[in-house]
Each structure stands twice: as structure tokens, then as C-alpha cells.
Structure 1
Amino acid sequence: MAEAKTPTPRRNRLDWLMQTAWTTWRLFSKNELFNHAAAVSLYFLLSAAPLVMLTLYATNLLERWAAGSVPGTILLAAVYDQFHLDTLRQFGIIPAKTKLAAGGVGLLTLVLASRGLLNALQSAFRVIFPADSKRRFVVSWAIPLLIVPLAFLLILLGVAARGVLEFLAQPSLLGSARAGALEAASSLLSLLTVWALTFFAFWRLPLKPPPLRATLWVSALAALSLVILATGFGHFFSAEKYRALYGALAGVVFVLIGIYFISVTFFAWAQCLYAVTKVDVAALERLFLGSEGQGANRLENLAFSGINRLLDKYGQSLPAGSVLIHQGETGNLSYYLYSGRVALYKDGPHGSPLGHIEQGELFGEMAYLLGEPRSATVVAETDITVLALPPQLLEELMRYSAPFSRRIIGSLCQRLKVMNQAK
């Protein structure tokens, strides 16, 4: 193998970003999240009626209050503007008036009808964040009853507050300086609302919550991209053009496309969050298996060409003659021989030779997997560089990569065969 260069923090960060991006894309494609996004879009349309009914019911209450109240009038105008209710009524998506029990739809029915949407989200998250456990039946039914109303309430409050801030930010009311400050506060409020919802979804929907710090950062980036997407969507997709093309179905098609793009972006960042926690595992798999595990292409070779980050994090360099493992000792570290050559001995470094291990091979994993003391002494015949892997990382590697697990099983069989022949 080529000699590793001295790692630098900047280069390590660049390697980490490239490997995270590639792992995200590979897993996103493997998990067919485009199809999951389409399913969520469809379920959103099927379950959008409860949300629309709740919005209209709240609007009716606001209209009664706004009849004799200036603040109510301001809030009502904000709701109409932020939810584009006039446009939705023009498209015929929602009726002009509604009551809470319109069409036999009660409040409980509205909440339960949204279960399909949440189930679609949970189904995608089970693919993105695989886990062996399952939620309890009672919890799985209780979550939609709590999340959907809370999420709707948070969105409604955030949109209403943003609309009020935008109304007050008119230069004719406060002057240009204060108006600019309120507009900035309005944009920040929208971003914080989306971030809160995104963080809650990334943190609570997976059966095993991801690391808090990574969740905070990735959800912030996801919220920013979702706000940018929602802001720019109207510039690239004209509702009027869809109305001319699809007629009465224009509103449905327009909403479907918008939700689809939002779902794709949302799932892509969720997959990125999982990739952040598995980037070392993916890089180690690529190092151990080379191109045999995934059918590597040029982009993958470029992303995983840098070994310095792994050497800096897990690497150990030892001179010739060093004893890396003593027979009979207890230990749970596994080692990957990056460069050099080691020898195996029975009964100490001066005992009976059992064989050699060349660079590119994994060793030391048998004691951990079998729960036994070290079965041989390992001595460096030349100057060596190894990657010392803690047991939890080895476990993640075996769960993450079936080809790696098969290689581990094959290696164990060969080692046991050699040990039996030496007896």
C-alpha cells in the first residue's frame, strides 16, 4: 500500500464531507427514498382534508372575532396570506365556508385521518434508521394522536405570527428601519418553526434516537434548505400554468409536486443524519473490501481515496519486534493491518510459529466474537501500521455490511483450522 501522508485537519474534514455525501447518496438510492417520498405525497393528499378542515374552522372563528377587533383583522389577513386560502378557494380545493362537523367529520376523525400520513413517514424512517426493536402497540397508536395536533398547532402559530410581523413591517406603519428588522424577525421565525418540526421528527421518529449534536446540526441544515425550497418553488412552478394545463385538477397536481420535492429533501437530510453516524463504518468497509463489496466507481474511489482520517483516528504505528497481542490475555480490540507484516506464535513470542498475517488483513477479532482469551501471540516482523477497532465499531461493521460479515466468518474458519492443525 502507498505510504500515508501526514494528516491535516482540513484534509480530514474534506474527506469526511466527501465520504458522508457519497454514503448519503448510496443509501438514499438503495433505500428507494424517491418512492417513499411519492408515497408520502399521496398520503398527504389523502389526509390533507383534516388539516384543511381544521384551518378553515380556525379561520371561521377568526372571522367572527375579527368583525369587531383590529388585532383579529390583522391576524385573519395574516392567515389568509400565509396559507394562500384565497388561491386554494379559487382552485376549488377547499370550500368557501366550513364547520367543524361539516360532512360528518368530527375533531377526533380529523386527527385519526392523519394517521396514514404519519405511518408513511414512520415507514420511511424505519428504512433510513434500521433497528431491531419495535414500538409498543399503544405507543404507535398514541403518537399520531399527539404529534399531528401539536405539529398543526405549531405551524398555525408560526405562520400566524409571521403574518402579523410582515403586516406590521410595512414601512408606512413603522418606518423603513424598523420594518426591515421585523421582516428579518419574520424570516427567522419561519426558519425556527421549520427547524423545531424537523428536529423533532429526526429525533423522535427513529426507534433509536441519533446523537443529539448531529441531529441539531443536520436538522438546522434541513430546515434552511426546506425554507429555501418553499420560497423558491413558486418562482419555478407557476400555479396559473398548471391551472391552464390541468383545469380543475391543477391545485391537486401543484400541491402534489410541491410536497414531493419537500419530502425528497426531508428524507435526503434524514439519510444524511444516518450517514453522519456511519461514515467511519462505510469508510472502513471500503478499506477492508476494496471494490468487491459495492462495485466501486470513480466517484466512490475519489470519495474514499483518503485513508489519513481513519489513520489519524484509529491508527497505531509500531516498530519491528513489538508484541501487539499476548496469548492468554483478555482484550476486545480488533486490528486491521494497514502496512507491514506480523507473525503468529503459540506459547509466547519464542514459541511455535503458527503463520503470518499480511497487510490488508483483519486479526484479533476471534477473541471478542468467541468471548475467549487471546489464542495466539502477535509479533510485528516489520514496522507496522494498524487500525485498532473497538468492539462496538466491529459490531456496527458486521450489521452494516453483509460482505464484511462473510469475510469475518471465512477468516474465523481459517484461523480455527490452523489452530486445530497446530494442536
Structure 2
Amino acid sequence: MFRNLALPPTRGTLGWLLQLAYTTLRLFGQNGLQNHAAATAFYFLLSATPLLLLLSYALQLLGSIAADSVPATILMAALYDQMQLENLAALGFIARQTQLAASGVGLLTLVLSSRWLVNAVQGAFGIIFPSPSKRNLVVSWVLPLIILPVLFLLMGIAALAQVTLSFLAQNNFIGTGNAQVLQALNSLFAFAMVWTLLFAAYWRLPRRRASARVAAAFALGASMSLGLLLMLFSTFFKLENYNSLYGALGGVVFVLIGAYFSFLLLYLWAQALYSYGKADITALEKLFLAGSGKGTGKVEAYIFGDIQRLLEIYGQVLPAGHTLIEEGDDSRTAYFLHAGRARVYKNTPDGPRHLGELNEGQLFGEMAYLLNEKRTATVVAETEITVLALPPQIMEELMRHSAPLSRRIIDTLCQRLERMNLANPG
């Protein structure tokens, strides 16, 4: 009796990507995620500070071992050569002598600050992925005490392997070719580690989770963006410039700026992951508001003007004379009339009574969903019509997502109930 619209699969893809980007940036600004990125970068700096204290103790311990160990000597030389530890020590970031007890203080500070950092990330994700459910109290307290120390340990191992391989290659200990292969493998390991961490965050932190495949794809995009950011920093930003500009605080400023942009990308991709499931809802909202005469801005009208994707997902083409809604049915599907005309009838003892017409741009059939009742009228296609068929779960998402649309639907419902009361005064 009806046929779905068969559109080319690539048609409208570019427009949908534009809608996704617009929805992401709009929600990103509304949620104030740039401020959350700044706060998270600050907590990251607090977490990174005790690492320098622990590094000081590790260097002292490594120095005592290097006297009797060739590998330890090579590792010590690689650290000082590749990471410019002598300059950091001269600037006061690394103590030249550290007591054993200091490592315990640094470890305790690292554990506590890591909890603040993870809580900051969880708070931002709670805003990006709103949900009425509460997180398990034990997990929210225990997870931050474990995840950051483990993460910093893995990052330290990867960085240590990278600088050691670079040092060995420069001094021709293992050959340039072998060192480059090992460096590439180590970089791949570091990338995989970052991707795994982001995948776990994007998949497990939201309380209303996306599929693992979608979360993995967005984690890959975020990992590649972070890699590009690292390349840009290494090319255009130099620690020496910050040291000459800010003095001893130059290193702190450098780390803080890098962390800020990193968390900015982390939250941007997280917001894009959320918008991935909301882009069609936003497009439906703009379409319905435009159809009600409310209109949208010029930018929104351009971005959401292409509804081919919506037609592909929800569209149905019905012939003239087709009964779309039958009075007394239990169906809850709502419809948006995209093209054509339809008539509304009410069954009476004297036969069907014509109540009115439905024209392009009108949303109808939502009363059964809102009131959870049977259909109160019959809708028949007067001409061939194209409609968007919206199941109840989509209407629920729309009502939650858009306050203006909710007000418009409720206002329309009140007007219809008023007309029905006037038509049936008894």
C-alpha cells in the first residue's frame, strides 16, 4: 500500500556531516566545555607535578645503579640527552638531591590529584551525556585512585622507550634502520594505548552508551587529532620560547597550554559522539518548527534545509485514497506531511464527517502518543503524499530535546481539544 523512499546511499551524506558538525559545536558552546577543558588541564598539571618529584628520586636511584651497570648508564645518558633533564634541573623543576621519603609524598599526591582529575573528566562527561541515573559510588571513588597512576606508568614506559631508542640511534649503537623500526613500533604502541584509553572513556563513561563500534570510531578520530596536535606543538611551539618569555614558569605554562588543547579535543569528540545520536533529532526539530511557521535562522535554514537523510530513514510515499490513520486504532506513530494533501474525518452515526485538511509542513497524529489513547479521527490521503513516519520513541526524544517544539506540540494539542469540545458541546 505504501513504499519507502529509495534514495542513493551517498545522497545527503555531506549535508548530514554538516548538520553533525553544527550540532556538535552548538552543544559544545552551550555546555561550556572550554571551561571544563581548562579546569581539567589544571588538575592534570597538579597530577603531573608530583611526577617530577618521583622522577627526581628515580634519577637519583638510577645514578647509583649506573656506576655498576652499563644499561643503566645508557638509560641515564639517554634521559639527560633526549629530555634535556639538565635544563629542567637548572630551572628548578627537578631536584638534584631527593630523600627517599619524598617519593612517598609524591606518590600520595599523585594518587589524590589523579582522583580530582578523573572526577573532572567524569563531571564533563556527565554534562555531555546527560542521564538521570547515578553512577555507582564505589566505582566513582575507587576508579580515580587506580586509573591515573596506571596511565602515567604506561605513558612513562612508552616515553622512556622512545627517548632511549632515539639516543641509541643517534649514537649508532643499534643501527639507524633498526632504531627507526623500533621507534615506529613504539609509536604505534603509544597510539594504541591512547586509543584504548579514549575508547574506554567514550564507551564506558556515558551512562547512556553508544555502541562499541561507534565509540571505537570516535576514539580513533580523537586519537588522530591528538597526534596531529602533538605534531603541531613540536613544530610551532618550543619549550625554550616559553622559558625565555616566562622564566622558570615557562615549562608550567607550556604543559598547561598543551593539556588545555588536548582536553579540548577530548571533549569535542565526546560531544560529537553524543551529537551523532542527536543530529537527526535536531534536523527533525528544525523541520517541524519551520513547518509550524516559527522559522529558523538563515544559517540553520541552510544547514538543515536538506532533509534527504530524514526522508531516507522515515519517509513513506502513499497513494491518493490511502487511509493513513484509522479512528479507533491503537497505533502511536506520528506523521509529518512533507508533500501532498490529506483530509481528516470523524465517524458519526450519519457517516464520516469532514473535519479539515492537512497541508504540507504539518505534524499530525501526535495526540495518540501524548494522551496514550486510541486514534480520535481518520486521515486519508487526498493526493499522493510523502510523510515522515515517527515512532513513539522518536517523539519522546524530540520532546526531551526541544522545549520550543514541546510547547508547539502542546499548544496544537490544546487547540484541537478545544475545537473538539466546541464541536461536541454535549
> Do these two structures clear the TM 0.5 threshold for a shared fold by scoring above it?
yes
Letter in 1 for 2:259: I
* CA displacement, residues 101-129 of structure 1 (integer Å, 9 cap, x when unaligned): 31872644431232222222222212211
- For 1:344, what is the secondary structure of its paired residue? strand
Aligned to 1:289: 289
Task: Map 1:133-152 to 2 at 5 A.
Answer: 133-152=133-152
Aligned to 1:393: 394
Runs of 5+ in structure 2 lacking a partner?
A: none
Decide which moves more: 274-283 or 182-191: 182-191
Task: Sort the Cα spacing of 1:98 and 1:128 in 2 relative to 1 into closer, same or farther, 3 A.
Answer: farther
Aligned to 1:378: 379
* CA displacement, residues 159-195 of structure 1 (integer Å, 9 cap, x when unaligned): 3344455456669455555444333223222211211
Equivalent residues of 1:91, 1:250 under 8 A apart? no
Equivalent residues of 1:166, 1:186 under 8 A apart? no
Task: Map 1:207-286 to 2 at 5 A.
Answer: 207-286=207-286
Letter in 1 for 2:418: K
Task: Sort the Cα spacing of 1:118 and 1:366 in 2 relative to 1 into closer, same or farther, 3 A.
Answer: same
Aligned to 1:366: 367
Decide which moves more: 72-81 or 362-371: 72-81
Decide which moves more: 182-191 or 18-27: 182-191
Q: Distance in 2 between matches of 1:182 and 1:103?
A: 32
Structure 2 length as normaliser, TM-score?
Answer: 0.88
Q: Distance in 2 between matches of 1:157 and 1:44?
A: 19
Aligned to 2:405: 404
Task: Sort the Cα spacing of 1:218 and 1:381 in 2 relative to 1 into closer, same or farther, 3 A.
Answer: same
Task: Map 1:200-211 to 2 at 5 A.
Answer: 200-211=200-211
- For 2:133, what is the secondary structure of its paired residue? coil
Aligned to 2:42: 42
Query: 1:136: Cα distance to partner?
Result: 3.1
Q: Distance in 2 between matches of 1:138 and 1:7?
A: 50
Q: Distance in 2 between matches of 1:98 and 1:294?
A: 67
Q: Distance in 2 between matches of 1:343 and 1:287?
A: 22
Query: 1:232: Cα distance to partner?
Result: 2.0
Equivalent residues of 1:33, 1:124 under 8 A apart? yes
Q: Distance in 1 between matches of 2:205 and 2:97?
A: 35
Task: Map 1:23-422 to 2 at 5 A.
Answer: 23-73=23-73, 85-99=85-99, 101-102=101-102, 105=105, 107-166=107-166, 172-175=172-175, 177-290=177-290, 296-298=297-299, 300-347=300-347, 351-422=352-423
Task: Sort the Cα spacing of 1:113 and 1:379 in 2 relative to 1 into closer, same or farther, 3 A.
Answer: same
Decide which moves more: 88-97 or 285-294: 285-294
Confirm whether residue 10 of structure 1 aligns to residue 2 of structure 2: no
Query: 1:405: Cα distance to partner?
Result: 1.2
* CA displacement, residues 282-301 of structure 1 (integer Å, 9 cap, x when unaligned): 11112112398795243x33
Letter in 2 for 1:412: L
Decide which moves more: 54-63 or 15-24: 54-63
Equivalent residues of 2:199, 2:216 under 8 A apart? yes
Task: Sort the Cα spacing of 1:416 and 1:204 in 2 relative to 1 into closer, same or farther, 3 A.
Answer: same
- For 1:379, what is the secondary structure of its paired residue? strand
Letter in 2 for 1:134: K
Q: Percent identity?
A: 52
Query: 1:269: Cα distance to partner?
Result: 1.1
Query: 1:43: Cα distance to partner?
Result: 2.3
Letter in 1 for 2:227: V
Q: Distance in 2 between matches of 1:24 and 1:82?
A: 39
* CA displacement, residues 48-88 of structure 1 (integer Å, 9 cap, x when unaligned): 33343444455555555555444445555666677664454
Q: Distance in 2 between matches of 1:378 and 1:135?
A: 46
Query: 1:20: Cα distance to partner?
Result: 1.0
Equivalent residues of 1:315, 1:387 under 8 A apart? yes
Q: Distance in 1 between matches of 2:26 and 2:198?
A: 22
Letter in 1 for 2:416: R
Query: 1:95: Cα distance to partner?
Result: 2.3
Equivalent residues of 1:40, 1:120 under 8 A apart? yes
Equivalent residues of 1:243, 1:251 under 8 A apart? yes
Q: Distance in 1 between matches of 2:393 and 2:180?
A: 52
Task: Sort the Cα spacing of 1:239 and 1:369 in 2 relative to 1 into closer, same or farther, 3 A.
Answer: same
Q: Distance in 2 between matches of 1:18 and 1:154?
A: 37
Task: Sort the Cα spacing of 1:267 and 1:18 in 2 relative to 1 into closer, same or farther, 3 A.
Answer: same
Letter in 1 for 2:362: E
Runs of 5+ in structure 1 lacking a partner?
A: none
Q: Distance in 2 between matches of 1:79 and 1:392?
A: 58
Q: Distance in 2 between matches of 1:396 and 1:82?
A: 53
Q: Distance in 1 between matches of 2:89 and 2:311?
A: 61
Q: Distance in 2 between matches of 1:54 and 1:293?
A: 61
Query: 1:34: Cα distance to partner?
Result: 1.5
Q: Distance in 1 between matches of 2:215 and 2:79?
A: 31
Q: Distance in 2 between matches of 1:58 and 1:350?
A: 91
Q: Distance in 1 between matches of 2:295 and 2:81?
A: 50
Equivalent residues of 2:320, 2:384 under 8 A apart? yes
Equivalent residues of 1:50, 1:113 under 8 A apart? no
Letter in 1 for 2:254: F
Task: Sort the Cα spacing of 1:332 and 1:67 in 2 relative to 1 into closer, same or farther, 3 A.
Answer: farther
Q: Distance in 2 between matches of 1:81 and 1:29?
A: 43
Q: Distance in 1 between matches of 2:347 and 2:155?
A: 69
Q: Distance in 2 between matches of 1:260 and 1:40?
A: 8
- For 2:227, what is the secondary structure of its paired residue? helix
Q: Distance in 1 between matches of 2:416 and 2:296?
A: 28
Structure 1 length as normaliser, TM-score?
Answer: 0.88
